[in-house]
């Protein structure tokens, strides 16, 4: 490993943004200064240099669904987007409900060597929603985020048990807040567009009834609770209120919910089919404000690859979800107008803190592991391809502002302007 020097950027130090150069050696940040020199010099003028992004919500699809994505291609997409760590969702086949499965995933990530793959564990055994998964084993294997994502933890009793148990082990329960009864038969937001299309919709209440119930349980247990992919103005208000009362609640929002609303669905195009669905323009505004104010702590991609033959079907039959690792930072920069400090907080610091991932999401200072991103906030570009195995993205052809130019993982450059030079294993 040779020295890499990043010159001329604005560096996010523990004291705040400072113009300067960063020298990296032996996998760590060696020094921050001016006029630094080294074996490999990368001109970073006009860019922000900060902690590599951390994604709280990625579907790597391995084991079990490798025709959509695997840990190799998913890691490459993450690196291309400026990420150095991702939390891998456990709705794999088999689902990550036991320690050895978590260890397998982490190991695969290590051997690929492009990002830190942090496995999440399920809340319930087999994601069946009935009994607790092997939470103790998972915890011992390093799992801190527990979720049945893809499905809601519907049973209040089970949710209470999980919150209670994990409070003692400093784990966090992340909820996919979509009530099954209210969402039955629906494939898009219940509103003006669903009414025009004659399609069953999923009302905003499907999200808020679950959060309302869960917040009572958070209060009862004192546990840690995280709301995944917030989509409604109502939820944002509830989260603000809960935080105000001192409950240990955090929340994430996806880039696609920040950028699009249900008018994107007027032509019933499966490209915009997600769960939770894209909602009204009022909901979208509330999400953007929520992220700006910090009520929503983090951006999480919910990167959900699906093969082309699966999405080339009528809307109702299409699977939910879009990929997003490569463009999340650009979308957030284009839509939310965050300053450098807030940007890195939502994209890296807060996610790392919520998931308890050491060595990532830290401000740049000598001695920290070199997991960094060089982000140009002004470059304008239009996405046209992807390194993911799947191509189900709503961003092709959409003008964006901002791009991760260099991603550095453990001191090695893993991506330059969207391309991943390292051979993926």
Nearer to other proteins, 254 or 311 (CB): 311
Query: Is 302 annotated in the active site?
Result: yes
Tokens read off for 287: 């999400």
C-alpha to C-alpha distance for 10 and 38, rounded to whole angstroms: 19
Q: Which stretch binds other proteins (CB under 8 A): 4-12, 158-166, 242-250, 308-316?
A: 308-316
Handedness of CA 202, 203, 207, 212 (dihedral sign): negative
Nearer to other proteins, 168 or 314 (CB): 314
Is the peptide bond preceding residue 94 cis, with omega within 30 degrees of 0?
yes
- CB of 259: closest distance to other proteins in angstroms? 22
- Which residue of 14, 157, 168, 198 would you call a contact of other proteins, by CB under 8 A? 198
- CB of 194: closest distance to other proteins in angstroms? 7
- Of 213, 102, 111, nearest to 160 by C-alpha is 213
Phi-psi region of 199 (alpha: psi -120 to 50; beta: other; left: phi over 0): beta
Residue 382 makes CB contacts below 8 A (sequence gap 6+) with: 397, 398, 399, 400
- CB of 185: closest distance to other proteins in angstroms? 6
| Whether 381 contacts 35, CB under 8 Å | no
Element (H, E) at 87: strand 83-88
Is 276 among the residues that bind other proteins (CB under 8 A)?
Answer: no
Nearer to other proteins, 30 or 202 (CB): 202
Helices 233-244, 281-293: inter-axial angle, 10-degree rounding: 30
Q: Where are the beta strands (DSSP E) in 68-182?
A: 83-88, 116-119, 145-146, 172-175
Is 194 among the residues that bind other proteins (CB under 8 A)?
Answer: yes
Nearer to other proteins, 39 or 267 (CB): 267
Handedness of CA 375, 378, 384, 390 (dihedral sign): positive
- Which residue of 1, 26, 156, 192 would you call a contact of other proteins, by CB under 8 A? 192
Is 398 among the residues that bind other proteins (CB under 8 A)?
Answer: no
Q: Which stretch binds other proteins (CB under 8 A): 85-93, 190-198, 373-381, 417-425?
A: 190-198
Q: Which stretch binds other proteins (CB under 8 A): 115-123, 184-192, 358-366, 385-393?
A: 184-192
| Whether 124 contacts 132, CB under 8 Å | yes
- Which residue of 312, 339, 380, 385 would you call a contact of other proteins, by CB under 8 A? 312
Is 307 among the residues that bind other proteins (CB under 8 A)?
Answer: no
Scan residues 234-273 and list those touching other proteins (CB under 8 A).
267-269
Query: Which residues are annotated as catalytic?
Result: 302
Residue ranges in contact with other proteins by CB under 8 A: 185, 190-192, 194-201, 267-269, 309, 312-317
């Amino acid at each position: 490993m040779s020295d890499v020097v990043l010159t001329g950027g604005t560096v996010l130090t523990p004291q705040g943004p400072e113009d300067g150069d960063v020298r990296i050696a032996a996998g760590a940040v060696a020094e921050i200064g001016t006029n630094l020199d080294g074996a490999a010099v990368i001109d970073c003028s006009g860019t922000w240099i900060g902690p590599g992004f951390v994604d709280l919500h990625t579907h790597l699809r391995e084991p079990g669904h490798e025709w959509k994505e695997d840990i190799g291609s998913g890691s490459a997409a993450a690196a291309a987007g400026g990420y150095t760590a991702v939390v891998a969702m456990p709705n794999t086949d088999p689902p990550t409900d036991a320690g050895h499965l978590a260890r397998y995933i982490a190991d695969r990530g290590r051997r690929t060597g492009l990002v830190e793959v942090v496995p999440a564990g399920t809340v319930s055994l087999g994601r069946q929603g009935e009994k607790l998964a092997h939470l103790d084993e998972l915890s011992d294997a390093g799992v801190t985020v527990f979720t049945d994502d893809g499905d809601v933890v519907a049973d209040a009793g089970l949710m209470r048990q999980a919150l209670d148990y994990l409070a003692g082990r400093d784990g966090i329960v992340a909820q996919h807040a979509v009530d099954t009864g209210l969402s039955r038969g629906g494939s898009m937001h219940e509103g003006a567009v669903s009414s025009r299309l004659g399609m069953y919709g999923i009302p905003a209440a499907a999200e808020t009834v679950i959060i309302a119930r869960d917040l009572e349980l958070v209060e009862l247990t004192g546990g840690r609770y995280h709301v995944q992919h917030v989509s409604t103005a109502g939820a944002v208000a509830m989260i603000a209120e809960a935080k105000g009362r001192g409950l240990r609640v955090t929340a994430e929002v996806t880039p696609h919910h920040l950028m699009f609303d249900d008018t994107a669905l007027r032509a019933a195009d499966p490209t915009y089919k997600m769960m939770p669905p894209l909602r009204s323009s009022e909901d979208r505004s509330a999400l953007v404000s929520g992220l700006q104010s910090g009520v929503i702590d983090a951006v999480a991609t919910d990167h959900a690859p699906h093969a082309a033959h699966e999405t080339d079907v009528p809307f109702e039959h299409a699977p939910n979800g879009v990929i997003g690792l490569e463009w999340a930072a650009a979308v957030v920069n284009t839509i939310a107008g965050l300053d450098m400090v807030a940007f890195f907080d939502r994209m890296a610091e807060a996610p790392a803190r919520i998931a308890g991932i050491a060595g990532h999401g830290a401000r740049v200072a000598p001695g920290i592991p070199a997991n960094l991103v060089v982000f140009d906030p002004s470059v304008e570009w239009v996405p046209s391809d992807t390194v993911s195995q799947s191509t189900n993205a709503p961003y092709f052809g959409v003008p964006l502002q901002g791009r991760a130019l260099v991603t550095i993982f453990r001191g090695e450059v893993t991506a330059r302007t969207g391309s991943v030079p390292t051979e993926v294993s």
